[in-house]
Amino acid sequence: MVGRLAIVAMLIGSVTACSSDVADTATGTDSATVTSTTVPVVTSTTTSEADYTFGIENFAFVPEGVTVSVGETVTWRNLTPSTTHTVTSPDDAWVSQTLGGGETFSVTFDQPGTYGFFCTIHPSMVGAVEVVDG
């Protein structure tokens, strides 16, 4: 656990604001498959269209970080059919199911802050979402 937090802390320190056009690197907006999780700052959701999408390509989140506004939804899509992945916050505020090829997981962010995430199967895979007011 300490190792995961150190990796995420290093990533959060290096994440810079990304423009919304980087979200286009992962395509598709099909319905999300998610677990039900309700926590004070984020809500897992099923959505027909995300505001931003991370691709999970081979063993990396693409892009590694995005900046979104409060209330926006972020979706992670596994683009690698032969490898499963997860999307998990370091404090387990959200934990996706195992995502096979083409499967998605979405979270709506209701509070400003920087939220790190990683793959529990491949802990070297890390990323972050920076959430800003309007």
Domains of the chain in start order, with CATH, are 2-132 (2.60.40.420)
As a whole number of angstroms, the distance between CA 36 and CA 25 comes to 27
115 has a pLDDT exceeding 70: yes
Q: What is the mean pLDDT of residues 7-17?
A: 36
Q: What is the mean pLDDT of residues 45-58?
A: 71
Strand arrangement, sheet containing 42-45? 42-45, 104-109, 73-78, 52-57, 60-62
Q: What is the mean pLDDT of residues 105-114?
A: 96
pLDDT confidence bin for 92, thresholds 50/70/90: very high
User: What type of residue is 68?
Assistant: V
pTM above 0.95, yes or no: no
In the numeric block, which tokens belong to residue 121? Answer: 């199967």
Among 127, 133, 132, smallest CA distance to 4 is for 127
